[in-house]
Amino acid sequence: MKSWWKGRKYILAAVCLCLLAGAVAPRPAKPAVPAKPVQQAQGPLEGVTVLVDAGHGGTDGGAVARNSGTLEKELNLKVALALREELEKSGARVIMTRDTDMEYSRSKRADLTARLDLARKGGADLLVSIHMNEYRSRSESGPQVFYRAGQAQSRLLAGAIQEAMIQELKPSKARSAMAGDYFILSLDIPSVLVECGFLSNPAEEKLLLTGDYQRRVAQAIRDGIVDYVSLQIVETNSAND
Ligand SMILES: [Zn+2]
């Protein structure tokens, strides 16, 4: 019993000495064991799930480009697929309503309801629906983002995307984000409908038909989403202060 305690005392003393030595000894300039490499940031949209909706599809072609006759549904899909890539590069999880030429129902309401169900079931944080505009006058041009009236977060998201599109695409007409009454905007998550440009405007149609411009549109939308998300983080942090 006694020798056991004696042994314990030495161990205790040794532990105390070690702690003391640790407290007073100068810290080595470099750790003996190399530190683990710093983990690469996963991107500004890590942990964010975005539902990307390529508007129309199947028997619903949407608008028709004035000169080329290209259907809106085709261009929506191209921009939506590019947007998926850009969002994933930024760390987001993306749910697509479609990645081929299809529709959920020939009833417009049932088709849109199926798209909204994907957002609900997939736990989407944000919803972005991609469309192309048209107007009877050829002179109308410029991308425009719509949100549901009364939804403050959707308005902020729409404003951020609108601003990024103006900065990066430099359209000849800079429009403002606007409230719009669209069924696809009826969820309670921040939701926007992006009209990427006018297919009734010959110059904008020409741009929208090129892969390069489709990519730039997708990048601008992604940048707007990143701006919106970082604004939310800043607000959350200052709320916690
Ligand atoms: Zn449309």
Report yes or no on 97 lying in a domain.
yes
Burial of 75 (0-12, 13-18, 19+ CB in 10 A): buried
**What's the CATH code of the domain at 142?**
3.40.630.40
In the three-class reduction of DSSP (H, G, I as helix; E, B as strand; rest coil), residue 8 is classed as helix
* Domain assignment of residue 9, yes or no: no
pTM of the model: 0.82
223 alpha carbon to ligand 1 midpoint, in Å? Answer: 22
Average pLDDT over residues 167-188: 97
Burial of 152 (0-12, 13-18, 19+ CB in 10 A): exposed
Mean pLDDT estimate for the chain: 88
- Distance (angstroms) between ligand 1 centre and the Cα of 132 equals 6
Question: pLDDT value at position 11?
Answer: 46
82 alpha carbon – ligand 1 mean position (Å) = 18
Cα of 200 to ligand 1 centre, how many Å? 13
Q: Which of 217, 212, 129, 202 is nearest to 170 (CA)?
A: 217
Distance CA 139, CA 155 (A): 27
Domain count, the chain: 1
- Mean pLDDT, residues 61-71: 97
Query: How many angstroms is it from 133 CA to the middle of ligand 1?
Result: 7
With respect to residue 233, please indicate whether it lies within any of the assigned structural domains.
yes
The reported pLDDT for the residue numbered 186 is 97
- What does the pLDDT read at residue 233? 76
Residue 83 · residue 130 · CB < 8 Å: yes
Q: Quick one: pLDDT at residue 70?
A: 98
Mean pLDDT of 75-86: 98
Given a contact cutoff of 8 angstroms between Cβ atoms, the answer to whether 182 and 108 are in contact is no
Domain carrying residue 169:
49-240
C-alpha distance across the termini of the chain, in Å: 56
CA of residue 22 to ligand 1 center, whole Å: 68
Express each pLDDT in 8-60 by its tens digit: 554 444 443 434 444 444 444 554 555 555 544 579 999 999 999 999 999 99
